Structure 1
Amino acid sequence: MASQFSLFKHRRFNAMFFTQFFGAFNDNVFKQALILILTYVAASKMGMKVSLLNNLAALLFILPYFLFSALAGQIADKYEKTALTQSVKLLEVMIMLLAGVGFWFEIYWLLFVSLFLMGAQSAFFGPIKYAYLPAMLQKDELVGANGLFQTGTSLAILTGMITAGILTQLNDSTLWLIMTTLLMAIAGYIASKFMPKTPTTTKNLTINYNIVSSSIDIIKYLYSLPLLFFVIIGSSWFWFYGATFLTQTPEFSKVILHGNESVVILLLTLFSVGTALGSLVCKTLTKNQVGLRLLPIGIIGLSVFAIDLYFSLSDISNIPTNTIYGINELLTVSGTWRIFADLFLLGVFGGVYIVPMYAFVQSYAPTSHRSRIIGANNIFNAIFMVGSAIFSIIVLSVLNLGLPMLFLICGVMNALFGIFLYQKLKHHKDSMMPSDDNASSAYTK
């Protein structure tokens, strides 16, 4: 593990790591604070349903990934990535200034515009950051670097959401919120200034600004590389799965565990820390080799502990409903330790599942199309996350099956999807990637 953390000694890694960390942290402070304001303040002032406003907010943040990921990939392939990163981070500072005006004067439509722009900024940054790593690191560093990236992202999301909750409870909360988001945006820009220059490989690329045709073109190109295509489908499934569980956390805490706000934070912490730990151990488990041999382990763990969560919830069905529990009280209730362990282990196996896939895409995507392929990956991620929301609405609101049954269905679906994915990858393992004739053997490394 020492060599994994030794990457922090090098500017080629640490500058991008902290640029990414501050950005992910800031995204989640801003999004979560906006959701809290919409829930407790704006909905009543605007005379609109909380669920409508919150779903609109979620849509506005995800929509740019559909619209701009293909364009972002083209730009990241054509131009030098460090300069692009600095431009994107400077844009984040300006967006946070705009959002600050919205927060201070309670201009809610301006906050929605800012949220859309933050989503767009993230959509343009995505292809840059994941194409940067293979350009600046050795192949035997990629798994460890992605493990650290996923760990940092998980912790940034968690701490960002917690920070938003704390800031909104302070005196002069609006001022604190504006200062925090602006300072984090500035910190991300400063970190990006320490990134070394990257090589450019596709300077002569002609950018197609038609977002529809460019999206179709890169998806067609990706489909012509079947091994890489199904790896990306597999990584997008992780976002479907994770979004399904994390979105239900507040209701899970309130309706099933009868817990207060601190219990929501505990559940998010268990899942996030589990994902961080699973991400970190990937380097050791893979022995620094880029490949997909951890895939069956990740799939099995994600299914086993989702299904066990269903059964563990049935063991506490007799929990008294006339009390709101804090963390300490819940820990004394029989069966809750098993629930917490299930959530933690779901995170662990999620990290084991996703990190090798990211490293595989970065390593074996053709160098000339690497950023565009990562843009295609982001498009699929967004599709699967929207699919997660629709799926959850059908199970919970249309079929009225309840949260435990949702978790059980997810566990079974994951097992079936895992079998499908394993067979597809095994079938296409002899496909040769244009960037590396050894790509086909990576499946069995």
Structure 2
Amino acid sequence: MSQFSLLAKRRFAPFFWTQALGAFNDNAFRNAMVMLVAFQMALPDAQVSLYTNLAPALFILPYFLFSATAGQLAEKFEKTRIIRFVKLFEIAAMSIAAIGFFTHHVALLLVVLFLMGMHSTVFGPIKYSILPQALERSELVGGNALVETGTQLAMLIGMIVGNSLMLIAGYGTLAASLTTIGIACIGYLASRAIPPAPATAPDLRFNWNPFSETWRVLKITHDDRAVFNAVLGISWFWFFGTVMIAQLPTYTRHVLGGDGSVNTLVLTLFSLGTGIGSLLCERLSNRRVEIGLVPMGAFGLTVFSADLFFAHPAVTPGAALDWMSFIAIPGAWRVMLDLTMIGAFAGFYVVPLFAFVQSRAPRERLSRIIAGNNIVNALLICAASGFGIGLTALGLDVPTIFLITGIVNVAVAVYIFTLVPEFMMRFITWVLVNSLYRVRVDGLKNVPDEGAALVVCNHVSFMDPLILMASVRRPMRFVMYYRIYNLPILRFVFRTAKAIPIAGSKEDPALMERAFELVDEALAKGEVVCIFPEGGITRDGSIQPFRPGVDRILARRPVPVVPLALRGMWGSIFSRRDSALHRARLPRRFWSRIELVGGSIVPASEANAAALESRVAALRGDAA
């Protein structure tokens, strides 16, 4: 089922349109205000500069002041009700904005800008915490991708519409006022159709002190190191994007030699790229939360931002080309490709991070963690503004700023991936599996989302654990032969995934006993453990008898068992078919079509080695 099918479902579509319309109005209002102040009020340059620099600060200030309170609201109360109050608040704010537009009252418009910042601050924790309540786990990536795409396109269209409306001679203020109020009303009507989203922490004791609550929210966000580092990654995305977008007007004028239409083209390419990258995440991740895409996104951001430094379109100094003239000059398409790909890799980077936070964070704390994320985002956005201003003050041109930002991106990525090796582990797994195989999966929903379970599977190749790791949505602890565990490169993957090495009783009885202890500890903690009960890789393609180790595990810790079977692996790269026939393994079956299928859950009372062997053999069928 495509992610786009969510747009036809009531549990997602009304929320999608509500948030997209809100993003549109934020940007339509802000750009209409800038056009009014900068081009239609004949103010001194110093005053215009003051207002245009003050505007972003006023919009971001509520994130510092009210994010913690917004996180509490989103957890203590039913979310749909809060959304409707937020949309009514937006209608009121846009009505005040209309007065500001007609009277040219700049101070009043700045007050409205602050109010719209409050609107976004309160809506933010709900925006991402409501998705896990409305969507299944397998839909999280697709849902986040649609939200990110919708937000980017709504922001872009809002900027264009806000600018265009104010340019209507004699009717600009009327058109801008009617449009923003109308969109706010439509957003409220859309919110009326959002299904109820019950409070996740109704007994939460509300703290009205924004300062102490902000500190507490940041502490909650920091409690889970993996989640906190994902938050840092999201915030870095905002830092990177803020630096890049802030330079685009100057880049358009002085490097591309373009007018306002070229600036619109540049923003369009960036936004479309982000939307395309976000939507591709679901296909590339096979509908699971695949954080392996994050390192790929970080790598692409650096490559294409650095390439902008070397891309020099043949522009005559002082030119003011429109967008059609610009795309005709030599070198323009390289710049356009770079901007689009920066957006695409930004999508690969940020969508899995949001889905990771939503899937990993406790449901009763998720809204406050999103609030903490918004606070950190705001800090990094302010730092990004200072970073860009500082580099400009040093006399660096825009392409050099792009290059430096790309280099800093590498350093930040390495730092985050060093703190959380799981990102690189997932990336290596994703690359290896998708380079070597074409995997079709079926029945993997039988692996429970919560609670302890034992997974059993046939063993055909050295790559089996990686294939399961890349295909099953829930993290698993693998029990594997210690010699495979110690293979070069893969050892990093297995160690990071907390695999459990095991040896035969005659090889290393102490290691074997230690493995059984670790398996029991993992199941006691509610984790999923995967074993290959044959005790080794098949040498003839058939399933070998399951050994009694599975009975020993279940006797000590009776947990449900999920049988899985690999099909089509025999004869693929890294299986032993070619070795048995004394032929080279490489590459008769490179990029093989294989399948991973799951059977129904077997209660511990009905599970034993013989019964599980029979079930796995039936799942595999004749597709060795």
TM-score by length of 1: 0.94
Indicate the larger mover: 272-281 or 103-112.
103-112
Q: 1:46 to 1:297 in 2, by over 3 A?
A: same
Per the TM alignment, residue 144 of structure 1 is displaced from its structure 2 partner at its CA by: 0.2
Aligned-pair identity (%): 41
SS of structure 1 residue aligned to 2:193: coil
Indicate the larger mover: 247-256 or 17-26.
247-256
Q: What's 2:291 paired with?
A: 292
Per the TM alignment, residue 125 of structure 1 is displaced from its structure 2 partner at its CA by: 0.4
Counterpart Cα distance in 2 of 1:427 and 1:160: 38
Q: What's 2:94 paired with?
A: 96
Q: 1:47 to 1:275 in 2, by over 3 A?
A: closer
Q: 1:409 to 1:436 in 2, by over 3 A?
A: farther
* Aligned mate of 1:164, from 152, 162, 165: 162
Counterpart Cα distance in 1 of 2:390 and 2:404: 12
- For the 8 Å contact 1:291–1:444, the answer to whether it is kept is no
SS of structure 1 residue aligned to 2:317: coil
Q: What's 2:301 paired with?
A: 302
Query: Quick check: 1:348 aligned with 2:347?
Result: no
Q: What's 2:178 paired with?
A: 179
Alignment size in residue pairs: 435
Per the TM alignment, residue 248 of structure 1 is displaced from its structure 2 partner at its CA by: 1.4
Q: What's 1:21 paired with?
A: 20
* Aligned mate of 2:356, from 357, 360, 368: 360
Superposed CA offset, 1:252-299 (max 9, x none): 111111111110010001000000000000000110111311011101
What does 1:123-162 correspond to in 2, within 5 Å? Answer: 123-162=121-160
Q: 1:273 to 1:427 in 2, by over 3 A?
A: closer
- For the 8 Å contact 1:93–1:186, the answer to whether it is kept is yes
What does 1:63-78 correspond to in 2, within 5 Å? Answer: 63-78=61-76
Indicate the larger mover: 161-170 or 318-327.
318-327
Gaps in structure 1 of 5+ consecutive residues: none
- For the 8 Å contact 2:292–2:424, the answer to whether it is kept is no
SS of structure 1 residue aligned to 2:277: helix
- Greater RCO (CA < 8 Å, at least 6 residues apart): 1
Aligned residue type for 1:405: T
* Aligned mate of 1:424, from 419, 428, 433: 419
Superposed CA offset, 1:214-240 (max 9, x none): 011111122121110000000111111
Instruction: Identify, as 1 or 2, the structure richer in strand.
Output: 2
Query: Quick check: 1:229 aligned with 2:228?
Result: yes
Q: What's 2:320 paired with?
A: 324
Q: Structure 1 residue runs of 4+, over 4 Å off?
A: 427-430, 435-445
Superposed CA offset, 1:68-104 (max 9, x none): 0011000100000000100100110011111111111
Q: Which has the larger radius of gyration?
A: 2
Counterpart Cα distance in 1 of 2:333 and 2:227: 39
Q: What's 2:373 paired with?
A: 377
Aligned residue type for 2:401: L
Counterpart Cα distance in 1 of 2:497 and 2:154: 33
- For the 8 Å contact 1:429–1:441, the answer to whether it is kept is no
Query: Quick check: 1:411 aligned with 2:410?
Result: no
Counterpart Cα distance in 2 of 1:330 and 1:390: 31
Superposed CA offset, 1:11-64 (max 9, x none): 11001000001000000000111112221234x447743222111001000110
Aligned residue type for 2:288: Q
Q: What's 2:111 paired with?
A: 113
Superposed CA offset, 1:117-142 (max 9, x none): 01001100011111111011100000
SS of structure 2 residue aligned to 1:206: coil
Superposed CA offset, 1:351-390 (max 9, x none): 1111011111111111111100000011111111111100
* Aligned mate of 1:82, from 80, 83, 87: 80
Aligned residue type for 1:350: A
* Aligned mate of 2:395, from 391, 400, 420: 400
Per the TM alignment, residue 429 of structure 1 is displaced from its structure 2 partner at its CA by: 10
TM-score by length of 2: 0.67
Counterpart Cα distance in 2 of 1:45 and 1:329: 32
SS of structure 1 residue aligned to 2:288: coil
Q: 1:326 to 1:153 in 2, by over 3 A?
A: same
Counterpart Cα distance in 2 of 1:95 and 1:345: 36
Aligned residue type for 2:298: I
Aligned residue type for 2:256: L
